[in-house]
């Protein structure tokens, strides 16, 4: 797997995650005409996203305008996850001209798992890959919430869930609630 393959794998993994999350949230999906997006499945801009674009200079501005119109109709924030494989090459400039702003770079990591020995001896020093367990969920949920800048709570009874849900609904913006049974 060369560097270009790794970049495509990172972009593809992020796109599939966002499309699946959008579908689970009831978002409108598009996967045609050289563009993939999910819009409407979340109140977070990161999740209302265009995740792939293979457009030409003649169609790019119309697709950008279409994505903006859909976001406005649903009164949602949104974004384009622009990666190295998106086209046209001036897509970032076109997005800024249409009213989007550069929100920063998104890190990506990849490792060709086929190159790892079954005993882990080829693992880079200090790297640990492990499945999290139930005892680790608080740390994972807290990290997720902090990463998206949203409050979070863990509840274990219906009464507590009702209280936390009521508070979340009164607050403006998203809220992460983990219900542990």
Mapped onto helix, strand or coil, the DSSP state of residue 50 is strand
Q: What is the pLDDT of residues 142-180, one digit of tens each?
A: 887 887 777 888 888 888 888 888 888 887 677 777 777
On the question of a cis peptide bond just before residue 88, with omega within 30 degrees of 0, the verdict is: yes
**Section 61-87 average pLDDT:** 95
Query: What stretches of 54-114 adopt beta strand conformation (E)?
Result: 79-80
Q: Is 90 exceeded by the pLDDT of residue 93?
A: yes
pTM given for the model:
0.71
Q: What is the pLDDT of residues 6-64, one digit of tens each?
A: 889 899 999 998 999 888 888 999 999 999 999 998 888 888 999 999 999 999 999 99
Return the pLDDT at 155.
Answer: 85
Question: What does the angle CA 57 – CA 10 – CA 148 come to, to the nearest 5 degrees?
Answer: 95
For 6, 13, 112, 117, 132, the CA distances from 124, given in Å and listed in that order, are 17, 22, 12, 11, 20
Helices (runs of H) and strands (runs of E) counted in the chain = 5, 6
Q: What is the pLDDT of residues 101-126, one digit of tens each?
A: 998 888 888 777 677 666 656 677 78
- 161 within 8 A of 181, measured Cβ to Cβ: no
CB-based burial label for 5 (10 Å; 0-12, 13-18, 19+):
exposed
**Section 126-132 average pLDDT:** 76
For 86, 90, 109, the CA distances from 3, given in Å and listed in that order, are 16, 22, 11
Rounded to an integer, what is the distance from CA 94 to the centroid of its chain?
22
């Amino acid at each position: 797997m060369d560097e270009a393959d790794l970049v495509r794998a990172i972009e593809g993994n992020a796109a599939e995650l966002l499309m699946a999350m959008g579908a689970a949230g009831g978002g409108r999906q598009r996967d045609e005409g050289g563009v993939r997006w999910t819009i409407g499945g979340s109140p977070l801009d990161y999740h209302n996203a265009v995740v792939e674009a293979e457009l030409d200079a003649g169609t790019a501005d119309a697709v950008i305008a279409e994505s903006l119109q859909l976001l406005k109709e649903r009164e949602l924030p949104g974004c384009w996850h622009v990666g190295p494989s998106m086209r046209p090459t001036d897509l970032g400039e076109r997005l800024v001209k249409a009213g989007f702003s550069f929100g920063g770079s998104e890190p990506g990591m990849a490792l060709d798992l086929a190159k790892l020995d079954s005993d882990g001896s080829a693992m880079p020093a200090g790297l640990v890959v492990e499945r999290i367990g139930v005892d680790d969920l608080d740390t994972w949920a807290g990290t997720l919430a902090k990463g998206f800048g949203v409050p979070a709570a863990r509840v274990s009874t219906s009464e507590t869930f009702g209280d936390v849900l009521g508070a979340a609904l009164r607050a403006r913006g998203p809220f992460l609630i983990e219900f542990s049974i």
